[in-house]
Amino acid sequence: MNNTPPGLRLLRPPTVIGQFHTLFFGSVRMFFLGVLGFAVYGNEALHFSCDPDRRELNLYCYNQFRPITPQVFWALQLVTVLVPGAVFHLYAACKNIDQEEILERPIYTVFYIISVLLRIILEVIAFWLQSHLFGFQVHPLYMCDASALEKAFNVTKCMVPEHFEKTIFLSAMYTFTIITILLCIAEIFEILCRRLGYLNNQ
């Protein structure tokens, strides 16, 4: 007999796919970002150099090249995507809703599906923003318009360090986003099928 309070049992997602998504989200994706992301992007600003190699020019062009650093963007993406599920689980814990009740009571099923749909929407928005901020490929040269800094500079060439590694990492982050979107869609189908199964067994 399980004596765990219902609110604590709900800290685990009510679907098999949801539990796999949590594992995938919490371990693989965060490990990839935290460990490999730092290795690839950690010293990018220090090795970003322009012609002529002057500190103020390098800093100005790097800020133009990276309006937001990839690590910060992806960290914000992970936190934002976690919010809908966290809100639902907090609500469920306060109401002492267990996993079975999500399938048995339509209102909880709808709330849970809405939280998953919000995750999908946030992931799609993040995918779109990432494509506009970072593109799909990192080129070895960046043409910087530094005329606002000093007219003599005009358009200057800047070297992007480890561009190939960054392209691979970008592709991996796009892939993670697509996988989580597919897992969320599959989770909606799973909970709908289980809901239909519960209704048929009544």
Q: Read off the pLDDT of residues 54-81 as tens digits, 9 standing for 90 and up.
A: 888 888 888 888 888 888 898 898 889 8
- What confidence tier does 13 reach under pLDDT thresholds 50, 70, 90? low
| Predicted pLDDT of residue 153 | 65
Residue 194 predicted with pLDDT over 80 = no
Kindly report the backbone phi and psi dihedral angles of residue 110, in degrees, each rounded to the nearest multiple of 5, phi listed first: -65, -45
The amino acid at residue 17 is: I
Kindly report the backbone phi and psi dihedral angles of residue 52, in degrees, each rounded to the nearest multiple of 5, phi listed first: -75, 155
Please give the Cα distance from 153 to 112 (Å, whole number).
55
| Predicted pLDDT of residue 8 | 45
- What confidence tier does 200 reach under pLDDT thresholds 50, 70, 90? low
| Predicted pLDDT of residue 10 | 45
Cα–Cα separations (whole angstroms), residue 69 to 47, 90, 98:
14, 31, 40
Candidates 167, 22, 179; CA nearest to 89 is 22
H/E segment holding residue 58: helix 55-65
Residue 43 predicted with pLDDT over 70 = yes
Digit-coded pLDDT (tens) for 149-178: 776 667 888 888 888 988 998 998 899 899
Mean of per-residue pLDDT scores for the chain: 81
pTM over the 0.85 mark = no
Render 60-107 in DSSP notation, one character per residue: HHHHHH-SS-HHHHHHHHHHHHHHHHHHHHHHHHHHT--HHHHHH-HH
